[in-house]
Structure 1
Amino acid sequence: MMNRIIVVLFTLLYLQTALAREVCYGDLECFDNSASCHSLRFPPDSPAAVNTQFFLYTRSNQAQNDYHLLDRTDDEKLRSSLFDGQLKTKFIIHGYTDTIFSDYFQAIKDSLLNKEDMNVIMVDWNDGAVGGYNYLCRQNTRVVGREIAMLARALNRVHGAVYGDMHLIGHSLGAHTAGYAGAFQAGFGRITGNH
């Protein structure tokens, strides 16, 4: 009997989630599931659940644990960071089940900073990119993409950073994330994705 109740409850929860037409998350606006690529009808998790974090590295703070954590909603924190609006900016976005603290992404960051003086923002959304359910992680790329776009807007407003000097680099689902950022905020200089 208890097993049947649990099955019914999970079925109802699934149907409520699966049939959700739209969810809204404050300044990130609303997400619907009308596109064919969202055919399973799962809405993305909330920004709090995805827990996107932006780690700023420059030549002055290149070591892995010497980052500045950027907050797209806190202009004062952005002003006091090492971000330089006169330099190019690279956003590095990991994919499914990954993290920006892996050797692979740290090597990319180091190569970029060794080549040129720039801002490198490592986008970590590991909480939204893990789990056995890849379909939900795919939906979460939309939330992260919009958060990247909103950070870019804040950097433009606070530091005068130019969208054309911003390059989004995504790996795997991070490539999709970069595409969603570009769809929400036009004008990025370059978007690169790899698998």
Structure 2
Amino acid sequence: MILWHYVALLLLITVQIFKAQSCDEFTDLDLSHAIIGTTLKTRLLLYTRDNVTCGTLMSHTNLSAHPQFNLSRPTTFVIHGYRPTGSPPAWLQNIVMMLLARDDMNVIVVDWNHGAANVNYFKAVANTHKTADNLTAFIQKMQEQGASLGSIHMIGVSLGAHISGFVGANLNGLIGRITALDPAGPQFTGTPPEDHLDFKDAQFVDVLHTDIDALGFREPLGHIDFYANGGTDQPGCPKTIFSGGSYFKCDHQRSVFLYLNSLNRTCTSKVFPCSSYKDFLDGKCLDCDRFGAAGCPVFGYDVTRWRDVLLRLNQTKTYFTTNKVSPFCMTNYRVEVVIWNQDVHRGYITVKLHGNGEEAVATIDHKAAQFKRYTETKLFAQFDKDIQSVRKVSLKFSTGKVLMPKYKLRLLRIRLTHLERAERPLCRYDILLEENKEVTFRPIPCEESNF
């Protein structure tokens, strides 16, 4: 009996080793390859729910050689960007697993690392069109064997976003969806639509911008464009060059991690259509009536719930803010303040929400707000977490002027309205705020006349 168990264990180990050996991996290159230069090869690695962690290298011409490739299922292509050191993207396995956890689909990782790993960025850019032509031919084979172009979703990162666009253009904009994660800016900015991703390249195009002042593309490209934190400096990313390589790539890479956050439903980021980030921060863009009963769209994988209305609107530019680390999404409130000081005061407000042992903080400091007697000042507060049941609220007023006399702000009323949950606003009346001193109170449901 002991011998039989031993034999069975050996067989199990042998099977596991065989399985491990039969998995195809993303090409792993190093800096020497990037310096010497490589010849473009496009490898397609297939993952399904039957082989979530074990890629299968696909034939470009004989699709029947892969029985697990079911053309009746939707297919998502994941396309990486520039790889100056040749290493595989750190996020690759996570996005594959999260996509397959969401839906029963074919996930194809497009490994063009042999064309993307080059210290000469211009060579990598030149290879984007060649990679797109290769993918176009493969998708045409899929179409010949019964696949619907409308069931294809391409997720492209940086240069991969433009590759997705070129493929879509080659197929007359008939593929179902392109998701572009911080499309590359250098060598694409200022070019005509046929030379970069464009909203006409697919039936639906959604684009995330996180580094528009450096590596990313600044202008809108999709049916909906998301500008996280204005599309520039991402919270938690290094501010100085002394942080090394992270200083250059952190903002750009954040696009992928924000998208992963939307895939695993850690939390939901509501976005607000607006003409500028300044107007968004000023709270001038909190009205989402144009989207009907569905309200404001959400960022990420699930934005397709708003697809029909977004297609009618043609191109929509939206903004949202994030935390420094996952979960990235923030919670939005409208804060309305009425004072009864005789003099006009300018300053900043910090709001804290307390409940169930947790605390959420919003500091409204992008510019000094103006508070005028009996005039409602509307502020946009973005909290680092969502407190489900607010028990207490803390307020602090500051002018930011160290050497000036301290002011007192006499609040006739403050009202806090949750922008994502349909619940009664919270109010408090007759509060005295001394500059730089925190005041804590219990809010009460607002009176009907204040709605």
Give yes or no for TM over 0.5: yes
Letter of the 2:170 counterpart: F
CA drift at 1:52: 0.4
Q: Are the counterparts in 1 of residues 80 and 89 from structure 2 also a CA contact under 8 Å?
A: no
Could you tell me how far apart the structure 2 residues matched to 1:56 and 1:75 are?
Answer: 11
Match of 2:68, SS state, is coil
Distance 2:48 2:63 in 1: 19
Q: Deviations over 1:108-134 (max 9, x none)?
A: 111000111100000000010011111
Report the CA distance shift for 1:68/1:139 in structure 2 as closer, same or farther (over 3 A): same
| Rounded Cα–Cα distance in structure 1 between residues aligned with 2:140 and 2:160 | 19
In structure 2, what is the equivalent of residue 53 of structure 1?
A: 43
User: Residue 134 of structure 1 aligns to which amino acid in structure 2?
Assistant: Y
Shift of 1:135: 0.7
- Cα deviation code 1:3-62 (max 9, x no counterpart): xxxxxxxxxxxxxxxxxxxxxxxxxxxxxxxxxxxxxxxxxxxxx921000001000000
Partner of 1:132: 119
User: In the TM superposition, what is the alpha-carbon distance from 1:136 to its structure 2 partner?
Assistant: 1.2
Pick the aligned partner of 2:80 from 86, 94, 115. Answer: 94
Amino acid at match of 1:67: G
The one of 152, 160, 177 equivalent to 1:166 is 152
- Structure 1 CA distance for aligned equivalents of residues 46 and 132 of structure 2: 17
Q: Distance in 1 between the 2:110 and 2:63 partners?
A: 18
Structure 2: distance between partners of 1:175 and 1:157: 25
Q: How many angstroms apart in 1 are the aligned matches of 2:125 and 2:165?
A: 12
Residue aligned with 2:104, SS: coil
Tell me the secondary structure at the aligned position of residue 126 of structure 2.
Answer: helix
Q: Any stretches of 5+ residues in structure 2 without a counterpart?
A: 1-37, 183-451
In the comparison of the two structures, how many residue pairs are matched? 143
Q: Secondary structure at the match of 2:77?
A: strand
Matches within 5 A, 1:22-101: 49-63=39-53, 66-77=54-65, 80-97=66-83, 101=88
1:182 to 146, 160, 168: 168
Partner of 1:24: none
1:106 pairs with 2:96: no
Letter in 2 for 1:155: M
Using CA pairs below 8 Å that are at least 6 residues apart, which structure has the higher relative contact order? Answer: 1
Question: Would you say the 8 A contact 1:148–1:181 is kept in 2?
Answer: yes
Offset, 1:74: 2.5
Check whether the contact 1:70–1:81 (CA below 8 A) recurs between aligned residues.
no
Instruction: Provide the rounded CA distance (Å) in 2 between the counterparts of 1:85 and 1:73.
Output: 15
Q: Report the AA paired with residue 56 of structure 1.
A: L
Distance 1:100 1:62 in 2: 21
AA paired with 2:50? S
Larger radius of gyration: 2
Query: Percentage identity across aligned positions?
Result: 35
What is aligned with 1:16? Answer: none
**Contact kept in structure 2, 1:96 and 1:173, CA below 8 Å:** yes
Instruction: Calculate the TM-score normalised by the size of structure 1.
Output: 0.69
Alpha-carbon distance between aligned partners in 1 of 2:67 and 2:121, rounded to the nearest angstrom: 34
Report the TM-score, using the length of structure 2 for normalisation: 0.30
Runs of 4+ in 1 over 4 A off after TM superposition: 98-101
Q: Name the one with the larger helix percent.
A: 1
> Which digits, 9 at most, give the CA deviation of each residue in 1:63-92, with x for residues without a partner?
1xx222112223442xx3311111111000
